[in-house]
Chains A and B, each alone.
Chain A
Amino acid sequence: MAALDQTQVKEGVDQETVDAVREVGTYKYGWDTDIEMEYAPKGVNPDIVRLISEKNEEPEWMTEWRLAAFERWTKIDEPTWAMVHYPKIDFQDQYYYARPKSMEVKPKSLDEVDPKLLATYEKLGIPLKEQMILAGVEGAENMPAEGRKVAVDAVFDSVSVGTTFQEELKKAGVIFCSISEAIKEHPDLVKKYLGTVVPVSDNFYATLNSAVFSDGSFVYVPPGVRCPMELSTYFRINAENTGQFERTLIIADKGSYVSYLEGCTAPQRDTAQLHAAVVEIIVEEDAEVKYSTVQNWFPGDENGKGGIYNFVTKRADCRGDRSKVMWTQVETGSAVTWKYPSCILRGDDSQGEFYSIAITNNMQQADTGTKMVHLGKNTKSRIVSKGISAGKAQNTYRGLVSMHPKAKNSRNYTQCDSLLIGDKCGAHTVPYIEVRNNSSRVEHEATTSKVDDDQLFYCRQRGMDEEEAVALVVNGFCKDVLQALPMEFAMEAQQLVAISLEGSVG
């Protein structure tokens, strides 16, 4: 017994030291949770696909859907057109399913969830108790005095740990649950909408996701309902050598409104990990969806070792007339980002907006942007992209604005600004514009600038240190986008901007 105790103490100390050392680094969420996991065997094949489907207790139609996707996937090649470089991924050398053992029998309520999992989210600052998000931050005057409610779906590796405020949302008619639950409880809705925005065959990663997605969130807002609180999903990758493939499906029925937030972090490891998600949003007549992301996956170390490969397909289909969707993203993490949240503006007078901040430091690479596909009459889109590169990072804005023949009198405004810190990084802008009618108007403005020494000196003369000065200037540069974020996220994003750029000057 004594020997065992000693070992435990030693391990404890080691862990503390490791944590302390990690705290010194810039990535705050690099710790991992020591928890017993259950894995599917490494690699991907029809048996693994069946196994995942079985683990989720899915109906036959879902299993078939996945198998068809897998079949498709084996026939497509990985895309190579993005301006990112990384070693070839061995898709057979990783796990496609990992869940904490304690989640084998799905807990009936959050009280029954493994305390280790709850502690993980607490440490991440994600409220899994049904509590108010309290005021007390700058700009909090817009919040009601009693605080604001945010419902959370927490996804840990391959499974959803729990979803808060479900009862209260149910009263309003809103369905907010994990996608695995939705497949079982609301099969008609899932069948009707899944894969209708991002088809199974859309692209290499989306197809892979269709075959092996394990969990994610599902939202349905019924006609005329304004969702009474913000909804959010927090994705945490914990297990090593494991890909996370989540699937999110959001349906805003006629005249409804919902604001949805997504956050993500992962432990600091020296091997790269794959995250290939698909998000589909359906916006019916007169409905509006706001989707905000603060992506803070582990970016890899300063030499480019480790980090998340974030290959994500996100698309919104504005099906109904006068429907509206707004994407806001703050991309600070990941070693490689490949992501183009897009809007299909099918309904007449529908609107799509895309606000993006993409920060790359050290060896990070980001190829990100949006697609605005104007199909309906009088459709409008707006793109505001702010790319910030530091260290040896490469940052590419890639966007498509397409005006179809029937999209008469449509408009797009695009503003792409790049900011460079130091002289070893790169910023690239690749806008594709297609206009196939003569009543539409497309405007594109782009700027590239460097953080100005005079600005930094001015800030420092007033008392700020160099990093504070850079953070202030960069936050100013991003202001148009930060303003588009819900308030809690805007605060987090501002701090994240500062943290991501630590060590980028001097």
Chain B
Amino acid sequence: MLEINNLHVKLEEEEKEILKGVDLKVEAGKVHAIMGPNGSGKSTLSYVLSGRDGYEVTQGSATLDGNDLLELEPEERAAAGLFLAFQYPVEIPGVGNMTFLRTAVNAQRKARGEEELSAAEFLKDIRAKAKALKIDADMLKRPVNVGFSGGEKKRNEILQMAMLEPKMCILDETDSGLDVDAMKLVSEGVNALRDEGRSFLVITHYQRLLDHIKPDVVHIMADGQIVKSGGPELALEVEHNGYGDILAEVN
């Protein structure tokens, strides 16, 4: 599914290298978690994969099902099945949540040469999926993320993910700013989407999210590289001992 080889990335404006040779392979149907201290490059990795401006890839490659992601525009990556649940979902005043999603769904369908969803089909689909995430009709009508609470924003990201049905989902610190109940709702939403054809890359600081979304593989990222990989027990180790021991061991 997702294959990253020796990825080196620096900021476009400065010489500072942020990713220093990332190697990662996520197979179809698997959930991989990336943990790591602040500034280790986790969010940068998610932005580079989804094609945000401001970064320059100096070396290495990233492919999704064999397609060179780095050659594609952000919307082409989306149509190819890459989804990023944002750490800080963006507000778009005046644009109804539902209008936004329908535009997105149909843009992707169009890009893939599929027929656009009719208003009726779309409505039926979104109502069912919103209900599961406890998103009410009012929230669907409100402008995208404007005045949403932290929990509402993150649930909205998962709703978008559910509607867009991507192959490769990257969750960038989806647990930040969530209380226990919201985390449960969001996790249930994610778990409902787990499927043998769909993979997840869950970026988080804390082990607690991984109590709800059980990963197959856990990676520790530090200073722009993946320094250690293992099973779910690796996350527990971090939870108990912090990153210090692992980093010392690696160095």
**A-contact bits for B146-182, CB 8 A (1 contact / 0 none):** 0000000000000010001000000000000000000
Given contacts A472-B92, A479-B94, contact A463 B78 (CB under 8 A): yes
Is A463 a contact partner of B92 (Cβ separation < 8 A)?
Answer: no
Within 8 A of A (CB), among B70-90: 73-75, 77-79, 83-84, 86, 89-90
Task: Give A479 to B89 CA distance when docked, in angstroms.
Answer: 21
Is B93 a contact partner of A463 (Cβ separation < 8 A)?
Answer: no
- How close is B175's CB to chain A, nearest CB, in angstroms? 20
| Residue in B closest to A453 when the chains form the complex, CB atoms | B53
Within 8 A of B (CB), among A433-464: 452-455, 457-464
| Residue in B closest to A460 when the chains form the complex, CB atoms | B74
Within 8 A of B (CB), among A393-449: none
Which of A460, A472, A475, A480 is within 8 Å of B75, CB to CB? A460
Within 8 A of A (CB), among B21-64: 50-53
Task: Give A460 to B94 CA distance when docked, in angstroms.
Answer: 18
Residues of A within 8 A of B247 (CB): none
Residues of B within 8 A of A461 (CB): 50-52, 74-75, 77-78, 83-84, 86
Which of B94, B100, B119 is within 8 Å of A478, CB to CB? B94
**Which of the segments B104-112, B210-218, B235-243 contacts the partner chain?**
B104-112
Q: Quick check: is A492 within 8 A (CB to CB) of the other chain?
A: no
Task: Give A75 to B165 CA distance when docked, in angstroms.
Answer: 70
Q: Quick check: is B1 within 8 A (CB to CB) of the other chain?
A: no
Given contacts A458-B86, A460-B78, contact A473 B104 (CB under 8 A): no
Is B107 a contact partner of A468 (Cβ separation < 8 A)?
Answer: yes
- How close is A171's CB to chain B, nearest CB, in angstroms? 37
Residues of B within 8 A of A452 (CB): 90
Given contacts A457-B74, A458-B86, A476-B143, contact A464 B94 (CB under 8 A): no
Task: Give A359 to B105 CA distance when docked, in angstroms.
Answer: 28
Task: Give A458 to B91 CA distance when docked, in angstroms.
Answer: 9
Which of B79, B91, B99 is within 8 Å of A463, CB to CB? B79
Residues of A within 8 A of B75 (CB): 460-461, 463-466
| Residue in B closest to A454 when the chains form the complex, CB atoms | B90
Within 8 A of A (CB), among B89-139: 89-95, 99-101, 103-105, 107-108, 111, 119
Residues of A within 8 A of B84 (CB): 461
Query: What is the number of residues of chain B that contact chain A, defined by CB distance less than 8 Å?
Result: 33
| Residue in B closest to A482 when the chains form the complex, CB atoms | B94
Task: Give A344 to B91 CA distance when docked, in angstroms.
Answer: 39
Is A475 a contact partner of B94 (Cβ separation < 8 A)?
Answer: yes
Residues of B within 8 A of A146 (CB): none
Q: Quick check: is A477 within 8 A (CB to CB) of the other chain?
A: yes
Task: Give A471 to B51 CA distance when docked, in angstroms.
Answer: 20
Task: Give A477 to B53 CA distance when docked, in angstroms.
Answer: 23
Is A464 a contact partner of B104 (Cβ separation < 8 A)?
Answer: yes
Q: Quick check: is A138 within 8 A (CB to CB) of the other chain?
A: yes
Residues of A within 8 A of B100 (CB): 459, 462, 472
Residues of B within 8 A of A468 (CB): 103, 107
Task: Give A65 to B86 CA distance when docked, in angstroms.
Answer: 67
Task: Give A465 to B119 CA distance when docked, in angstroms.
Answer: 21
- How close is A295's CB to chain B, nearest CB, in angstroms? 22
Given contacts A453-B53, A457-B52, A468-B107, contact A462 B92 (CB under 8 A): no
Task: Give A469 to B111 CA distance when docked, in angstroms.
Answer: 15
Residues of A within 8 A of B83 (CB): 461
| Residue in B closest to A386 when the chains form the complex, CB atoms | B94
- How close is A469's CB to chain B, nearest CB, in angstroms? 8
Is A476 a contact partner of B103 (Cβ separation < 8 A)?
Answer: no
| Residue in B closest to A138 when the chains form the complex, CB atoms | B119
Is B92 a contact partner of A455 (Cβ separation < 8 A)?
Answer: yes
Task: Give A138 to B92 CA distance when docked, in angstroms.
Answer: 20
Which of B53, B73, B78, B94 is within 8 Å of A462, CB to CB? B78
Is B95 a contact partner of A462 (Cβ separation < 8 A)?
Answer: no
| Residue in B closest to A473 when the chains form the complex, CB atoms | B92
Is B89 a contact partner of A458 (Cβ separation < 8 A)?
Answer: yes
Task: Give A154 to B74 CA distance when docked, in angstroms.
Answer: 45
Question: Which of B86, B94, B108: most chain A CB closer than 10 A?
Answer: B94
Residues of B within 8 A of A454 (CB): 90
Is A463 a contact partner of B111 (Cβ separation < 8 A)?
Answer: yes
- How close is B49's CB to chain A, nearest CB, in angstroms? 10
Given contacts A465-B73, A472-B95, A476-B92, contact A457 B78 (CB under 8 A): no
Residues of B within 8 A of A480 (CB): 94
Is A464 a contact partner of B107 (Cβ separation < 8 A)?
Answer: yes
Is A465 a contact partner of B95 (Cβ separation < 8 A)?
Answer: no
Task: Give A435 to B53 CA distance when docked, in angstroms.
Answer: 49
Is A475 a contact partner of B95 (Cβ separation < 8 A)?
Answer: yes
- How close is A493's CB to chain B, nearest CB, in angstroms? 14
Residues of B within 8 A of A457 (CB): 52-53, 74, 90
- How close is A208's CB to chain B, nearest CB, in angstroms? 39
Residues of A within 8 A of B93 (CB): 476-477, 479
- How close is A138's CB to chain B, nearest CB, in angstroms? 7
Is A455 a contact partner of B94 (Cβ separation < 8 A)?
Answer: no
Within 8 A of B (CB), among A267-311: none
Residues of A within 8 A of B74 (CB): 457, 460-461
Given A468-B103, A468-B107, A472-B99, 19 further pairs, Cβ under 8 A? A455-B90, A455-B92, A457-B52, A457-B74, A459-B104, A460-B73, A460-B74, A461-B77, A461-B83, A462-B100, A462-B107, A463-B105, A464-B75, A464-B103, A464-B107, A475-B95, A476-B95, A476-B143, A477-B93
- Report 26 cross-chain contacts, Cβ distance below 8 Å, ordered by A residue: A453-B53, A455-B90, A457-B53, A459-B92, A459-B100, A459-B104, A460-B51, A460-B73, A461-B74, A461-B75, A461-B86, A462-B78, A462-B104, A463-B79, A463-B105, A463-B108, A463-B164, A465-B107, A472-B95, A472-B103, A476-B94, A476-B95, A477-B93, A479-B94, A479-B95, A480-B94
Interface residues of B (CB under 8 A from A): 50-53, 73-75, 77-79, 83-84, 86, 89-95, 99-101, 103-105, 107-108, 111, 119, 143, 160, 164
Interface residues of A (CB under 8 A from B): 138, 452-455, 457-466, 468, 472-473, 475-480
- What 4 pairs across the A-B complex have the smallest Cβ distances? A476-B94, A476-B95, A479-B94, A462-B104
